[in-house]
Amino acid sequence: MRYFRFLVAGHAVSAYGVFLNLIALNLFAYETTGSALQTGLLMALRLFAGVAGGALMGSLSHRFDLKRVLVLAEFAQGTALLSLAVFQDTTGNALLYGVVCVAGLCSTSSTVALRTAIPAMVGADQRVWANGLLASCRSVAMVAGFASAGVVVSLLGYTAAFVLIAGTFLLAALNLAWLPLRTRTGDEEDEGEGGEAAPGRAAARGAGRVSGWLGRWALLGFLRLYPLVLMLLMVRAVDGFGSSAHNVGLPIQSRALDPAHPAVFLSQFWAIWAVGNILAQRLVTRYAKRHGAPSERAFAVGVMVMSAAFILAFTGLPLWLAVPVMLLAGMADGFTENTYISRLQALPEKRRGAVFGLCVTVENTSFGVGMLVSAALMERYTPLTVVGVMHGAALVCGLALLLAHRRLAAATGHADGAEGDDGAEGDRTAAARGPAPKPGAAVPGARTTPSGRPEAARADDGATP
């Protein structure tokens, strides 16, 4: 855990560089090209590079050492920005386009690799804590990066700003390089907490395997997922589509509320959102210690609460009401992110990288499309209308997931509707039983074969087939 905390510290420094770079690089692109169209193309190129990076990393993650991927991703971003700082006056716009591609590609590759490796780094039973710690540090880094971007660029200039940002990436790379982190368990199929079969194994046997080279593509990971996990990914995609609306609408809403000081509301919103996000990570970590990782049902409720809170934030509430609404939006946002990632991390290790690659690809695509759609709609409609419609779609999808979860629970007779495939249910069962026995140790009450090995459970013993 000590080494993982060092990783989190380096990740926070890198995340600060990412969010500072988002502002600095976009401003530099507009000042260099002098064209809003080219600036938009650069932003789109970064998004598409991120989509490609997620898909590529998802399909190839099982072939590479994930620690090396993390180190190389940080090092490549730092090197690219140093090159831009040194050669920006001699290379023209070509280098700028290259730096944007590297930023998008490496950022998503690093995200996929880190999410995939967390269960091996800290243990499957600590993944909720690890996700919460990473999310808390990233929230603080986001606020700090956005808040300091204007000051850094205006006081230091673009060259110094790029050197500073490159330093954050290179420092994170050096930090990762010396940490003795384990990124693979070495098992063909993970074992769940308490020695149970890993979540998703029963569903994988029922669905079969995709043969041939097509099975390597992350997209076909959908064909091997448990249905509720598939729905979870779809809800997350619609959630990303809705989140683009409030990101586009917040500057407009800020100017409408206070034309003289539009940055006040915007900074207040994100600061309070970050506090709510951090509180949610603390609460969900404490919950997981006692009850295991939250289930899909909790994720569905979180999406509904988050969507409703973001809609209310655009209704022009007085400050004494707006603050708790913003706080609730941050808490629900942080809770759903942790629940979503932790649930997917309960999938077998061999398939986890492909699933996370697909997830990041879907999230980036839905968010990018949502940015275009919401920007076009806000030319004709108010931010409240656009946010209400787009977050309303996420709310409806969350309700659909909740109803599907309950219906499956009623059909299978399981409290959580998991059929033995719910990672949260496995966590709760393991917590109730206590620590798992060591490999090869005798289990009290278990029948053994003449060779002394535990006999496989029979269907009439009540075991899940």
Spatial separation of the C-alpha atoms in residues 321 and 327, rounded to whole Å: 10
Residue 219: pLDDT over 80: no
Q: Residue 428's pLDDT is what? A: 45
Residue 367: pLDDT over 70: yes
The greatest distance separating any two alpha carbons of the chain, rounded to the nearest whole angstrom, comes to 83
Q: Residue 414's pLDDT is what? A: 53
Spatial separation of the C-alpha atoms in residues 60 and 354, rounded to whole Å: 8
Instruction: Give me the mean pLDDT over the 269-287 stretch.
Output: 91
Spatial separation of the C-alpha atoms in residues 66 and 55, rounded to whole Å: 15
Residue 293: pLDDT over 80: yes
Positive or negative: CA dihedral 389, 393, 398, 399: positive
φ/ψ of residue 454, rounded to 5: -60, 140
- The 10s digit of each residue's pLDDT in 399-442 is 998 888 888 777 765 544 443 444 444 454 444 444 444 444 44
- The 10s digit of each residue's pLDDT in 252-266 is 888 888 787 777 788
Residue 75: pLDDT over 80: yes
**Given 3.40.50.300, 1.10.3720.10, 3.20.20.70, 1.20.1250.20, which CATH number is that of 1-182?**
1.20.1250.20
- The 10s digit of each residue's pLDDT in 19-36 is 998 888 888 888 887 776
| Alpha helices in 292-348, H assignment, sequence order | 296-313, 319-344
Q: Residue 208's pLDDT is what? A: 37
pLDDT band at 296; cut points 50, 70, 90: confident
Q: Residue 253's pLDDT is what? A: 84
Q: Residue 330's pLDDT is what? A: 93
Instruction: Give me the mean pLDDT over the 7-11 stretch.
Output: 92
Q: Do domains 1-182 and 198-431 have the same CATH topology?
A: yes
CATH number of the 198-431 domain: 1.20.1250.20
Instruction: Give me the mean pLDDT over the 6-15 stretch.
Output: 92
Return all residues near 12 (Cβ < 8 A) that are at least 6 apart. Answer: 137, 138, 140, 141
């809003």: which residue's tokens?
36
Q: What is the mean pLDDT of the chain?
A: 78
- Domain segments of the chain as ranges: 1-182, 198-431
